[in-house]
Amino acid sequence: MSKKKIDTAVINHDTSYVDRKQWPQWQRILFRISFIFFILIAIPNNPHWYTHVWNIDWWNLDYRDLYDICRFGSGVNYFGTTTFGARLLGYSIWVNTLIFATIAGLLWTLIVKILKRERKEYERLYYWLNVIVRYRAGLGIIGFGFTKLFPVQMPYPSLGLLDTDYGDLTAQKIFWLSFGIVPWYQVFAGVLEVGAGALLFFRRTVAIGAALLVGALGAIVVVNFAYDGGVHVYSSYFVLLSLFLLVPYYKPFYKVFVKEIPAQVSLFFPVFATPLQVVRYSLKTLTIFLFIGVFFYLQYLDFRYDPYKQPSTAGYKAFRGNYAVSEFKLNGVEHPYDPLDTVRWQSATFEKWSTLTFKVHRPLPLDLSNGGGDPKRDVNRTFEISGVAGGQRAFHYYIDTVTQTLYLEDKYKPIPDERNKTADSGGDRGVRNNISLNDVKIYGPTISLEEWIPAEVKRRLGNEADYVHPKARTTRRLREFAKADELAKREIRQRFVVRYTIQNDGERVILRGVDENRDSLYVVLDRVKKDYKISPGKLVAGQYE
């Protein structure tokens, strides 16, 4: 502890300066309730989290491994996600936990009364509770902050999104995109969040960090309500924890600045013996090394090679860009350009990653999720269609350059994956999987997985896990791809296959094949230059060259 020269005031970081006087009865009861409540709300309540942490490969880490450590649901979920049947906007778990903590706290009071083991105060326990809450809040917000510090949480809009009308987006999408177009601003938000989190690791700066968190996360809570972002509960969580950490400061602040009478923050800090002190500093150093140093590096790798919301595989270079659909034949029948034709493709884009998008003039089932989460397979990274209407379809493609064939797979699937499993109630689990297979038969694929890509081509395509830069081939990625084939069998997706012909350096691309309904398809695409009024700056995520 550095003891700076601050005139002659009492400043002593051992126990002596706090007058360890008797706490009144109400304060002791309140403390017991808060203690149980905040402990419960600071530890993960989901078995997935524990298995995840147990299974982490520490020698080939993925940014998401650490992210998942930092992000988890908590509280008493034994009674489900309602309080007497009410969801309370998702806050019912807090209320349930509070009810549980109140009962437990009162029992605790009763027991110490019966045993006549009543303590005068709980200064030491309060210190430890603060430590737990500080680290919980600090780590949690750092996990979030890094995805902004390296701007990947709100990606820059894809070509397909730039071509989507403003009215065809959800409010959530609009907010996320409006952040995505200004990556430096996102970096600033990330620096603020990581900075605030780091300040919580140090006793002296707790108040500053917590105050910053209340402000920043308070605004995020309102954003989530206003734009229907879906993570209002988890962002409120940080506000709640921060307000708790600020408890010792309210009264002194009020006294000095409002009442204008002298005051002091009364906080107890235990004095550790040397061995414990060594343990303390080692743990602290380890935490900072891992969750700031290592995390920074991992998030950099993610930003550089594998931005988690956009596909990581580079798109075929010869045809990237916006295309007009000059000719369109279905089963040999020509469909001339007509914006009201419900069959014809209206326009198309080949993204810089492995996605083909096209627009149709007819209603489509929509993915209204946030399009985030942790999928590693490109086909499951759906930011480019989530929250997007206007007939926009997106297909992931594998390209076989030997036979000049594209194997396309719809990014939309009627039964979405559950996302952020580790986070559980601390995350946005995406759209809940509550429709049955019978409901989705109408979307059933007419081209099965086996029929789609012949074995010989499959061999040529190689292992998709290796499509990214070696540094992004984390154990997490490899494990997910090891299971990918099994999971794919259970998915319901539209698929189709086309041969492509590239003319004139990709100015014209001709696609011939069968579409998802086994109708024969003939499409002539001509490159068009869109006169967009925004353009990506230098801070661009991903490696697509």
Partner 1 sequence: MLWIVLLSIPIQQDFYSILLSLSWQYLLIDFYNLVTFLPHFFDKNSTILDWTIYLGIAVALALLWRSRQPHLELNKWYYYLRIFSRYKLASILLVAGFLKVFPLYVPEISLSHLNTGYGYFQHWKHLLLSLSAAPAYLVFLGIVEVAAAILLLFRRTAFLGVIFIIPFYGNVFLADLAYEGGDFLVSTYIVLLSLPVFVYDLGRLGRLIYHKAFTQPAAWHLEWNHSRWKKVRVVGKISFAVVFFFVVGFKSYSAFRQQQNLFYPQHKGLEGIVGKYWVKDFVLNGDTIAPSPFENGRWKDVVFERWNTLSIRVNESIVVEEPASRLWPRQDSLRNYEYTQVGDRLYYTFQFSEQDSILTLANRNKHYIADSYRFQLSQPDSNAVLLRGTNGRGDSLQVLLVYAKKKYLLEEVKKVGRRKVGYKL
- Give the number of C-alpha atoms closer than 13 A to the C-alpha of residue 256, restricted to the C-beta side: 8
- List binders of partner 1 among 50-109 (CB under 8 A): none
Minimum CB distance to partner 1, residue 364 (Å):
6
The long-range contacts involving 207-215, CB below 8 angstroms and separated by at least 24 positions, are 207/245, 207/246, 207/249, 209/138, 209/242, 210/137, 210/242, 210/243, 210/245, 210/246, 211/242, 211/246, 213/137, 213/141, 213/238, 213/239, 213/241, 213/242, 214/239, 214/242, 214/243, 214/246
> Which neighbouring-strand residues pair with 526?
324, 508
Interaction of residue 273 with partner 1, rule CB under 8 A: no
Longest dimension (CA), the chain: 93
- The contact mask relative to partner 1 for 223-242 (x = CB under 8 A, - = no) is x-xxxx-x------------
Among residues 434, 459, 470, 538, the one that binds partner 1 under rule CB under 8 A = 434
Q: Which is nearer to partner 1, 6 or 402 (CB)?
A: 6
- The contact mask relative to partner 1 for 149-178 (x = CB under 8 A, - = no) is --------x---xxxxxxxxxxxx-xx-xx
Strands 495-503 and 355-360: unpaired
Among residues 16, 22, 25, 264, the one that binds partner 1 under rule CB under 8 A = 264
- List binders of partner 1 among 454-473 (CB under 8 A): none
Among residues 54, 59, 260, 455, the one that binds partner 1 under rule CB under 8 A = 260
Report the run of H or E that residue 503 belongs to, with start and end: strand 495-503
Minimum CB distance to partner 1, residue 475 (Å):
32
Among residues 23, 79, 127, 249, the one that binds partner 1 under rule CB under 8 A = 249
Q: Is the Cα dihedral 183, 185, 188, 194 positive or negative? A: negative
CA–CA distance, 395 with 356 (Å, rounded to integer): 5
Q: Which is nearer to partner 1, 113 or 530 (CB)?
A: 530
- The contact mask relative to partner 1 for 411-430 (x = CB under 8 A, - = no) is ---xxx--------------
CA–CA distance, 11 with 201 (Å, rounded to integer): 21
Minimum CB distance to partner 1, residue 179 (Å):
9
With CA atoms as reference, report the closest residue to 366 among 217, 173, 233.
173
Q: Which is nearer to partner 1, 292 or 324 (CB)?
A: 324
Region from 100-108, 211-219, 292-300, 516-524 binding partner 1, contact rule CB under 8 A: 211-219
Q: Could you identify the residue written with the tokens 């270079």?
A: 317
The phi and psi torsions of 520 (rounded to 5 degrees) equal: -80, 145
Minimum CB distance to partner 1, residue 513 (Å):
21
Secondary structure of residue 322 in the 3-state scheme: strand
Burial of 506 (0-12, 13-18, 19+ CB in 10 A): middle
Interaction of residue 197 with partner 1, rule CB under 8 A: no
Region from 275-283, 301-309, 435-443, 466-474 binding partner 1, contact rule CB under 8 A: 435-443
Minimum CB distance to partner 1, residue 255 (Å):
8
- List binders of partner 1 among 119-138 (CB under 8 A): none
Among residues 106, 131, 265, 333, the one that binds partner 1 under rule CB under 8 A = 265
Interaction of residue 327 with partner 1, rule CB under 8 A: no
27-59 residues labelled b (16+ CB within 10 A) or e (exposed): ebbebbbbbbbbbbbbebbbebbeebeeebeee
Among residues 77, 83, 205, 446, the one that binds partner 1 under rule CB under 8 A = 205
Q: Which is nearer to partner 1, 101 or 194 (CB)?
A: 194
| Contact in structure between 497 and 483 (CB atoms under 8 Å) | no
DSSP for residue 510: E
> Which neighbouring-strand residues pair with 44?
74
Q: Which is nearer to partner 1, 121 or 526 (CB)?
A: 526
Q: Which is nearer to partner 1, 162 or 488 (CB)?
A: 162
Q: Which is nearer to partner 1, 498 or 524 (CB)?
A: 524
| Contact in structure between 445 and 488 (CB atoms under 8 Å) | no
Q: Which is nearer to partner 1, 308 or 345 (CB)?
A: 345
Minimum CB distance to partner 1, residue 530 (Å):
6
Q: Which is nearer to partner 1, 468 or 511 (CB)?
A: 511
- List binders of partner 1 among 379-408 (CB under 8 A): 387-390
Among residues 50, 84, 184, 272, the one that binds partner 1 under rule CB under 8 A = 184
- The contact mask relative to partner 1 for 478-517 (x = CB under 8 A, - = no) is ----------------------------------------
Number of residues binding to partner 1, judged by CB under 8 A: 95
- List binders of partner 1 among 436-455 (CB under 8 A): 439-440
- List binders of partner 1 among 328-367 (CB under 8 A): 336-340, 346-347, 363-366
Interaction of residue 524 with partner 1, rule CB under 8 A: no
Q: Which is nearer to partner 1, 152 or 212 (CB)?
A: 212
Report the run of H or E that residue 300 belongs to, with start and end: helix 295-305
Q: Is the Cα dihedral 400, 403, 404, 408 positive or negative? A: negative
CA–CA distance, 422 with 49 (Å, rounded to integer): 5
Q: Which is nearer to partner 1, 92 or 172 (CB)?
A: 172
Question: Both tokens of residue 291?
Answer: 């969750």
Among residues 61, 98, 152, 212, the one that binds partner 1 under rule CB under 8 A = 212
Q: Which is nearer to partner 1, 252 or 454 (CB)?
A: 252
Secondary structure of residue 10 in the 3-state scheme: coil
CA–CA distance, 171 with 331 (Å, rounded to integer): 39
Interaction of residue 521 with partner 1, rule CB under 8 A: no
Interaction of residue 538 with partner 1, rule CB under 8 A: no
